[in-house]
């Protein structure tokens, strides 16, 4: 089965569009976190939830930096 150049270009364009969508999602996740910086947990459950949110934010920020060509920490 042969794949045409047009098919390859279409696939590359679709992949690039998806990459852009994922980068936008990481950025949005990080911005939601940044808007919650003043939250002070009052219970153990809230503290644990805040810890998980912080970890997810770190993952998003690290992956956003990778997209900008920066090395992983």
Three-state SS across the chain?
A: CCCCHHHHHHHHHHHHHHHHHHHHHHHHHHHHHHCCCCCCCCCHHHHHHHHHHHHHHHHHHHHHHHHCCCCCC
Output the pLDDT for position 70. Answer: 59
Whether the pLDDT of residue 11 is over 60: the answer is yes
The domain ranges of the chain are: 5-67
pLDDT band at residue 73, thresholds of 50, 70 and 90?
low
Output the pLDDT for position 42. Answer: 94
Give the whole-number percent of the chain exceeding pLDDT 70. Answer: 90
Q: Read off the pTM.
A: 0.59
> How high does pLDDT run on average in the chain?
84
């Amino acid at each position: 089965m042969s794949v045409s150049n047009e098919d390859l270009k279409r696939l590359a364009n679709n992949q690039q569009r998806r990459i852009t969508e994922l980068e936008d999602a990481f950025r949005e996740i990080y911005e939601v976190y940044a808007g919650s910086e003043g939250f002070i947990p009052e219970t153990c459950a809230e503290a644990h939830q805040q810890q998980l949110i912080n970890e997810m934010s770190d993952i998003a920020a690290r992956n956003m930096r990778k997209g900008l060509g920066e090395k992983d920490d």
